[in-house]
């Protein structure tokens, strides 16, 4: 295994421990993944990425702590211990240095928090796409509205909020899709406003769940792009590819229908996890 692959595996390991397991990192496990001593791995990490491994982990912890403060009712003391700080005081000092405000200030009003995203080591990415004709279907779920430029921060917060509030479980129980999975739906406002309505939904035929809305998707032809890897980086890389190349050059007319993301059931931190981007196109099939 090459160094880039080892580093990406370790980055995925870090995210799994910080977000899913909420456990301290094990230096011995990192060393085994790196296939070298932990000290030597830290030197290689700093050389390749221009930052120390410990600084990267600290930045990710404080980024995730910011998400938790804005999207949950957890107390500061809970969040501080969750991310491995010895006391709320030490956590508050680190948080203020990183975000420029205290945790209490971060929770009040429309305060902007700093984000250090999950690192993506330079690896070769391949995409596979196809045209698929799909019958009309119904989506049900919950939505938020994002002003221009807000989606990069508000959409991840919305996913986190829905997960913690039990919305995912509520939607999954009504899912009648084949195969089953969660959809992310983009609806754009007037060109002058550039607002985006983003929804987390499932295909469902039954009763509308309490607090949810529905969207009827007409029979359409879709350009479906497979994205492999942990999310959100895999789906973000897919959109970047589409915006820089395919959407600029593709010979199809965009149909009058929302753009969709689709997330399969499974461990979304796995390197082979499948997500998809669906672009509606004027039928040529």
Statement: residue 110 has pLDDT above 70: no
Statement: residue 109 has pLDDT above 90: no
Q: At the fourth CATH level, which superfamily is domain 128-281?
A: Regulatory factor, effector binding domain (3.20.80.10)
pTM of the predicted protein model:
0.59
Band (pLDDT 50/70/90 cuts) for residue 1 is low
End-to-end C-alpha distance for the chain, whole angstroms: 42
Q: At the fourth CATH level, which superfamily is domain 3-107?
A: Homeodomain-like (1.10.10.60)
- Percent of the chain at pLDDT exceeding 90: 40
Q: What is the reported pLDDT for 125? A: 63
Half-sphere exposure of 31 (CA within 13 A, CB side): 8
Each residue of 66-103: pLDDT tens digit? 888 877 788 999 999 999 899 999 999 999 999 999 99
Statement: residue 192 has pLDDT above 60: no
Q: What is the reported pLDDT for 119? A: 82
Return d(Cα 50, Cα 24) in angstroms, integer.
23
Q: Among all chains, which residue has been given the structure tokens 């969207």?
A: 215
Domain extents in the chain: 3-107, 128-281
The arithmetic mean of pLDDT across residues 34-50, rounded, is: 87
Q: Which two tokens stand for residue 141?
A: 């779920």
Q: What is the reported pLDDT for 67? A: 83
Each residue of 118-151: pLDDT tens digit? 887 655 566 788 888 999 999 999 999 988 777 7
Cα 143 from chain centroid (whole Å): 16
Q: Pick the residue with more confidence: 16 or 139?
A: 139
Find all residues with CB under 8 Å of 264, minimum gap 6, and list them. Answer: 179, 181, 273, 274, 275
Each residue of 197-250: pLDDT tens digit? 999 999 999 889 888 999 999 999 998 999 988 888 888 888 888 887 777 666
- Percent of the chain at pLDDT exceeding 70: 91
């Amino acid at each position: 295994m090459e160094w880039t692959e080892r580093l990406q595996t370790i980055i995925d390991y870090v995210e799994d421990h910080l977000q899913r397991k909420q456990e301290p990192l094990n230096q011995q496990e990192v060393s085994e993944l790196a296939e070298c001593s932990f000290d030597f791995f830290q030197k290689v990490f700093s050389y390749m990425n221009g930052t120390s491994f410990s600084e990267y982990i600290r930045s990710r912890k404080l980024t995730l702590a910011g998400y938790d403060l804005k999207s949950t009712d957890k107390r500061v003391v809970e969040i501080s211990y969750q991310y491995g700080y010895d006391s709320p005081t030490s956590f508050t000092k680190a948080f203020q240095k990183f975000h420029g405000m205290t945790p209490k200030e971060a929770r009040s009003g429309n305060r902007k928090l700093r984000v250090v995203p999950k690192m993506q080591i330079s690896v070769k990415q391949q995409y596979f796409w196809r045209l698929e004709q799909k019958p009309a279907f119904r989506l049900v779920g919950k939505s938020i509205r994002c002003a221009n430029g807000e989606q990069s921060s508000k959409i991840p917060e919305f996913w986190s909020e829905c997960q913690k509030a039990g919305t995912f479980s509520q939607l999954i129980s009504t899912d009648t899709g084949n195969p089953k999975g969660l959809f992310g739906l983009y609806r754009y406002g007037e060109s002058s406003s550039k607002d985006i309505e983003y929804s987390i939904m499932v295909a469902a035929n039954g009763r509308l769940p309490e607090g949810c809305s529905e969207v009827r998707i007409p029979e359409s032809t879709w350009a479906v792009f497979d994205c492999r890897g942990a999310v959100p980086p895999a789906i973000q890389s897919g959109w970047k590819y589409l915006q820089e190349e395919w959407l600029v050059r593709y010979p199809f007319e965009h149909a009058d229908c929302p753009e969709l993301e689709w997330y399969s059931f499974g461990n979304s931190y796995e390197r082979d996890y499948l997500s998809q981007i669906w672009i509606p196109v004027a039928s040529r099939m």
